[in-house]
Amino acid sequence: MNTLTSVSAVPLCPPFEHESAPLRILLLDDDPAYSHLCQRYLSRDGLRDYDVVAAASAAEGIEACLSQSFDCLLVDYCLPDITGAEILKTLRDKMGSGMPPAIVMSAMGGQAAASEAVRAGAIDFLQKGVVSSECLARSISNAVEKGELKRSIDERTTELLDANIQLQSRNEEIQRFYQSISHEVKTPLAAAREFIAIVLDGITGEVNEEQKEMLVYARESCDQLAEHFNDLVDMTQLEAGKASLNKQWVSLDGLIKRCLASMKAAFEFKEIEFIGAIPDDLPLALVDGNRFVQVISNLVGNAIKYTPRGGEVRLSVELDEASQVATISVADSGCGIKKSDLVRIFDRLYQVKPREESEIEAGLGLGLGLSIAKELVELHHGEIWAESEERQGSTFVVRLPIGAEASAAN
Ligand code: ADP
């Protein structure tokens, strides 16, 4: 039997008006007697109508499947020279996710054949000898349902993938925008800051106290703006996974001194006492020095910002020799952080409402500092967290692998 025949199953029971369209079934079996039996089984189903197309060879079945649309495939496992599983593999290669749900049937059964069929994409495996009208109809109904579910999941997945591609390209656009705006703004900003500094230093003529005060404010505003732009660019690069570390063997002690030196004026201005507990026998650390300074500067800068005049800030470093992990703590005697805020302060753009006028005077940030610090610490395979209670000060802790093995293994 090598011809492809289209047979509409003839109901043996009295005609029954079904609301849904007949299910289109491709029945691929080289045994005409079994093919006929299946059609009889289906014609007895009182719940659905079936439009069965029978094919007696793999070539006919594949051709029919590629040229027509079916709700379900019934494929014999043992066809001459080819298995049902191989047919499904061929169809899957050609049709991808558009392949209809398939049921494989075999005269012998057997776990190995069933597993192979399921691996090739069959939804069910039936043993011919025990197939009944009811069981065949139920298996087809399940397969069709699963096929529909799979189709809707595939469609949703495609939609999500498309949305993701769009988001990525939007994100890249935003990044490019930040990069270019940052470049366009930072160059003239740096020039403005330089001119302010020249006038402030009295190089262009004497400056009175009132003018000095204004110029200092203008210079600080330039610094703040430049910092905001740096934060925006850093955040977009970190988010896009484009930030990389330039790890080198450096002295943590030296880096911390560098960072404290740049904050000397801020400590003095707020009359905040700095207490350092940094061992002087720290070994060299394999970290990105500039990024490390960025993280510690952010923590110390925040400690100064959120501590009232006359308070104190402590910075301590401890080294666990065995694991080669340094723990750096920055503690302050400032306003502290409420529990409900504590869990969110490392979120991007999260800011606690200013608690005191002095916080507003110190200049509100963008709420990016801690999230950038967290990303940078995690890029180093480290951890960062905060401990605090309202009005009890805060402690920010960074645990950083600093040895070659520790930073690679973590
Ligand atoms: P911002 O630019 O607002 O400082 P951050 O990401 O650095 O952004 O900090 C997020 C929030 O965490 C801040 O709005 C601030 O309220 C709170 N915070 C950070 N450090 C401290 C600290 N040492 N004491 C109290 N609150 C802090």
- The CB density around residue 295, as the number of other CB atoms within 10 Å, is 28
Cross-strand partners of 118: none
Cα–ligand 1 centroid distance for 351 (angstroms): 6
Q: Is 366 in the pocket of ligand 1 (CB under 6 A)?
A: yes
| CB of 275 closer than 8 Å to CB of 316 | no
> What is the arithmetic mean of pLDDT over 22-31?
95
Q: Is 351 in the pocket of ligand 1 (CB under 6 A)?
A: yes
Q: Is 337 in the pocket of ligand 1 (CB under 6 A)?
A: yes
**pLDDT tens figures, 354-392:** 777 666 666 667 889 999 999 999 999 999 999 999 999
Substitution site in 341, 347, 352 for ligand 1 pocket (most atoms within 8 Å of beta carbon): 352
Predicted confidence at residue 254, as pLDDT, reads 93
**pLDDT tens figures, 336-360:** 999 999 999 999 889 888 777 666 6
Cross-strand partners of 104: 75, 125
Predicted confidence at residue 373, as pLDDT, reads 96
CA dist 366 and 227 (Å) reads 10
Q: Is 182 in the pocket of ligand 1 (CB under 6 A)?
A: no
Predicted confidence at residue 362, as pLDDT, reads 62
Residue whose CA is at the smallest distance from ligand 1 atom 16: 352
Predicted confidence at residue 363, as pLDDT, reads 64
Cα–ligand 1 centroid distance for 405 (angstroms): 33
Predicted confidence at residue 307, as pLDDT, reads 94
Predicted confidence at residue 36, as pLDDT, reads 94
> What is the arithmetic mean of pLDDT over 135-157?
92
Of the pLDDT bands very low, low, confident and very high (cuts 50, 70, 90), residue 65 is very high
Residue whose CA is at the smallest distance from ligand 1 atom 23: 303
| CB of 367 closer than 8 Å to CB of 285 | no
**Among 47, 48, 67, 91, which Cα is nearest to 6's?**
67
Atom number in ligand 1 closest to CA 303: 23
Cα–ligand 1 centroid distance for 209 (angstroms): 33
Q: Is 345 in the pocket of ligand 1 (CB under 6 A)?
A: yes
Predicted confidence at residue 117, as pLDDT, reads 86
> What is the arithmetic mean of pLDDT over 69-97?
92
**Does residue 92 register a pLDDT over 60?**
yes
Relative orientation angle of helices 133-200 and 209-239, to the nearest 10 degrees = 160
Cα–ligand 1 centroid distance for 197 (angstroms): 29
Residues in contact with 65: Cβ distance below 8 Å, sequence separation at least 6, in sequence order:
26, 73, 91, 95, 99, 100
Atom number in ligand 1 closest to CA 330: 23
From 38-42, 109-113, 142-146, 328-332, the region with the lowest mean pLDDT: 109-113
Best-predicted range by mean pLDDT (122-136, 223-237, 302-316): 302-316
Q: Which residue has the higher pLDDT, 70 or 10?
A: 70
Q: Is 329 in the pocket of ligand 1 (CB under 6 A)?
A: no
Predicted confidence at residue 227, as pLDDT, reads 85
Helix (H, G, I), strand (E, B) or coil at 206: coil
Substitution site in 296, 343, 345 for ligand 1 pocket (most atoms within 8 Å of beta carbon): 345
**Does residue 2 register a pLDDT over 80?**
no
Residue whose CA is at the smallest distance from ligand 1 atom 7: 369
Cα–ligand 1 centroid distance for 363 (angstroms): 12
Secondary structure of the chain: what % helix, strand, coil (to 5)? 50, 20, 30
Q: Which residue has the higher pLDDT, 79 or 1?
A: 79
Cα–ligand 1 centroid distance for 184 (angstroms): 28
Cα–ligand 1 centroid distance for 364 (angstroms): 9
**pLDDT tens figures, 230-281:** 888 888 888 878 788 999 999 999 999 999 998 999 999 999 999 999 998 8
> What is the arithmetic mean of pLDDT over 15-36?
83
**Does residue 145 register a pLDDT over 70?**
yes
Of the pLDDT bands very low, low, confident and very high (cuts 50, 70, 90), residue 192 is very high
Q: How far is CA 284 from the centre of its chain?
A: 34
Q: Which helix (H) or strand (E) holds 231?
A: helix 209-239
Q: What is the mean pLDDT of the chain?
A: 88
CA dist 118 and 120 (Å) reads 5
Predicted confidence at residue 408, as pLDDT, reads 58
Cα–ligand 1 centroid distance for 336 (angstroms): 10
Q: Is 333 in the pocket of ligand 1 (CB under 6 A)?
A: no
User: What is the CA angle 308-313-318, rounded to 5?
Assistant: 160
**pLDDT tens figures, 162-189:** 999 999 898 888 878 877 887 788 888 9
Q: Is 61 in the pocket of ligand 1 (CB under 6 A)?
A: no
Q: Which residue has the higher pLDDT, 9 or 87?
A: 87
Predicted confidence at residue 247, as pLDDT, reads 94
Substitution site in 270, 299, 370, 387 for ligand 1 pocket (most atoms within 8 Å of beta carbon): 370
Interstrand relation of 394-401 and 325-332 (parallel, antiparallel or unpaired): antiparallel
> What b/e string do you get for 16-25 counting C-beta neighbours within 10 Å, with b at 16 or more?
eeeeeeebbb
Of the pLDDT bands very low, low, confident and very high (cuts 50, 70, 90), residue 200 is very high
Predicted confidence at residue 291, as pLDDT, reads 94
